[in-house]
Amino acid sequence: MKFFNTLTRKDEEFKPLKDNVVRMYTCGPTIYNFAHIGNFRTYVFEDLLRRYLKYKGYKIKQVMNLTDVDDKTIKNSIKEGKKLKSFTDTYKKAFFEDVDILNIERAEVYPAATEHVLEMIEIIKVLIKKGYAYQGEDKSWYYNIAKFNDYGKLSHMKIDELKSGARVKQDEYEKENVADFALWKAWDENDGDVFWDDDELGKGRPGWHIECSAMSMKHLSDAFKTGKFIPGKFETFDIHTGGVDNMFPHHEDEIAQSEAATGKKFVNIWMHSEHLLVDGKKMSKSLGNFYTLRDLFAKGFKPMALRYVLISTHYRQQLNFTFDGLNAATNALQRIEDFVLKLKETKENEGEDINSTMDKLIETFEMSLDNDLNIAPAMGAIFEFIKKINGLIAEKNLAKKDADKILKLLIRFNSVLGFIDFSEKKLDNEIEELVREREAARKSKNWAKSDMIRDVLKEKGIVLEDTAKGVRWKYAK
């Protein structure tokens, strides 16, 4: 199994650094608004990675942070006249609702930045002691990137022409503005009542970048096991993920401060997902192409169709979201679910030997995902398999025991994909009665009544299919 490492720009064979446990840190949401589909493109990629590692037999310890204090959360909470915690709790709750509705597996730990400020302070003090940090005229504490020889190694940027002493206090900035970044931001009136007091650092709050260093070190190593920061106890962890826009400055700054503090390699493999576009353009509220999950579901689209769209393009390729694509995903899911229903209805005692066909499917599925989670060939193989088996079912040439084997295989694959619905759907009493009435009308050859009931059911979102084995129903797309 190989993954593309952003740090080395190479595909690298993956093996956990410690036993059979994959220690993984994923950059989570800044909880100041509803997460949009671009955010969830990254979260679904990380879910695919997590699920496939489990499929391969690894145990997972995943940590996903919740940024509940930064420039954005403070600014927006003050704008709405709310206390920071009350403000961020609203969007924290919404985030987890979205995670669950997209069938994203929960991480083992969701640390909040505000609960780890003491750990951040301890790391900053180590950086000061080692000569990597200094206090600016504004009383904030900054990281001196000129002291870290490897600065820029993740984003592959050169800092030879950096202006000496240039500083940037805001959390997010562009490569052309590369400068010493804030570790601890001195309080000013724009922060309202959001601050922590420390004898050495003064009244202020942590910068964004130090937050992730502290939370990953605490939960993925023994660096804080005693309650105090012991740099020598830190152990390099396996994987750090995020969107490509996190690469600089956020991840670059994480590496600089973490490796300076511990003297050890921070992360073994860095993985970044590419941007999501909408109709070929960057998503923007001003363009009217900005969508949260709630926006799409209000339009009648199903969560699993969106998950299918977000997962079906390789994570290192830009994903162009379109409503045509979302409709196509809905149709593809319906095809899979129709196939599942046919398998459940198969009753034949004998049929063609499908063992070699199944073995080939498994091989293609695993070879594709072993190759840096290359999902497209895996999905193509699944649909080719469905086409072949549907042919056998039509010919009554698939044995029930083999249909059951296929169902078990699909359930296993779905432990990775997470978008197939195997549940036994049930109709409410009113609709069941209409289905029975229609069947009675058909038996008495009352075609007018049969068609009328069929139309009524369609209006209620139920589509009927008349087959040789009787009537089959499904929800309309």
> Mean pLDDT over all residues of the chain?
93
Q: Model's pTM, two decimal places?
A: 0.89
Statement: residue 430 has pLDDT above 80? no
The CA distance from 447 to 456, in Å, is 14
Q: Which pLDDT does position 84 carry in this prediction?
A: 98
The CATH code that applies to domain 2-273 is 3.40.50.620
Nearest to 422 by CA among 343, 314, 318, 347: 343
374-415 pLDDT tens trace = 999 999 999 999 999 999 999 999 999 999 999 999 999 999
Q: Which pLDDT does position 173 carry in this prediction?
A: 64
* DSSP, res 5: E
Q: Which two tokens stand for residue 100?
A: 């669950």
What is the end-to-end Cα distance of the chain in Å, rounded? 37
Statement: residue 172 has pLDDT above 80? no
What is the distance, to the nearest Å, from the Cα of residue 449 to the centroid of all Cα atoms in its chain? 49
Statement: residue 461 has pLDDT above 80? no
Statement: residue 164 has pLDDT above 60? no
- β-bridge partners, 462: 475
- β-bridge partners, 282: 277
Query: What are the domain boundaries of the chain?
Result: 2-273, 309-417, 429-475
Looking at 27-156, which runs of residues are DSSP E strands? Answer: 59-64, 133-135, 141-143
**CA torsion through residues 362, 368, 373, 377, sign:** negative
Give all strands of the β-sheet with 237-243 in edge-to-edge order. 59-64, 21-26, 237-243, 267-273
125-160 pLDDT tens trace = 999 999 999 999 999 999 999 999 999 999 988 776
Q: Cα torsion at 412, 376, 102, 90 (round to 10°)?
A: 140
Q: Which option is the CATH number for 309-417: 3.40.710, 1.10.260, 3.40.630, 1.20.120?
A: 1.20.120
- β-bridge partners, 12: 3
The CA distance from 464 to 458, in Å, is 8
- The answer to whether the beta carbons of residues 157 and 175 sit under 8 Å apart is yes
The CA distance from 214 to 266, in Å, is 12
Mean pLDDT over 183-197 rounds to 96
Neighbours of 454 (CB within 10 A): 19
pLDDT band, very low/low/confident/very high, at 176 (cuts 50, 70, 90): low
